[in-house]
Amino acid sequence: MVTAAALFSGDLASARRAMRSLVLPGQRRLHFTHESDGRRKRILDAITELGPTVTIYDASAHHRRRQREACLDALVENLASSGTRMLVLESDESIVELDRKTLYRSVRRHGCHEILEYRHLRAFEEPLLAVPDALAWCWQRGGHWKTRVREMVEEIRTV
């Protein structure tokens, strides 16, 4: 599963400030897994205010080794059709090389290699990476957490 949260470029500076303001002293970044329930609710309130457009890509039908590739390819397909110019993914050294290969192929396959730029950043470098992190956690956790974020999810795309 890959969770993508899109924000309009005009809102990015204020959105980053809003997310940075939630980082506590001693924290480098928000990481939803490590937050208390009270903090999770506060973070979700802030995310709701940002108004992200969220798509969840589900590739559970694929072999485990192909799931992320399938999700990223579907994500690039959606981004190409919307004219998106920038994709930022959280950097995970264990998969960044596979991501780069997948994205290189996908942007060419979907005809957006001259328009769509993609980057891998660490979560403390890009505070907006906390948005899909939080939403993915809630979705997978289920129960009242999933209910809380359901209205932000525009599409669940099975790939």
Instruction: Read off the CATH number of the domain in which 81 is found.
Output: 3.30.420
Predicted confidence at residue 64, as pLDDT, reads: 87
User: What span, in angstroms and rounded, lies between the C-alpha atoms of 31 and 93?
Assistant: 17
Predicted confidence at residue 11, as pLDDT, reads: 80
Stated length of the chain: 159
Predicted confidence at residue 65, as pLDDT, reads: 84
Side chain identity at residue 11, one-letter code:
D
Residues in the chain with pLDDT values less than 50: none
Predicted confidence at residue 9, as pLDDT, reads: 76
Provide the terminal-to-terminal Cα distance of the chain, rounded to the nearest Å: 10
For residue 57, what are the domain limits?
2-158
Q: Is the Cβ–Cβ distance between 19 and 130 less than 8 Å? A: yes
Predicted confidence at residue 59, as pLDDT, reads: 97
Overall pTM > 0.95: no
Smallest CA-to-CA distance from 148 within 37, 59, 16 is with: 37
Question: What percent of the chain is modeled with pLDDT above 70?
Answer: 100
User: What span, in angstroms and rounded, lies between the C-alpha atoms of 103 and 111?
Assistant: 12
Smallest CA-to-CA distance from 49 within 21, 13, 5, 15 is with: 15
Q: Which structure tokens are listed for 60? A: 């559970």
Predicted confidence at residue 155, as pLDDT, reads: 96
Indicate the number of domains in the chain. 1
Which residues is 156 bridged to in the sheet? 56
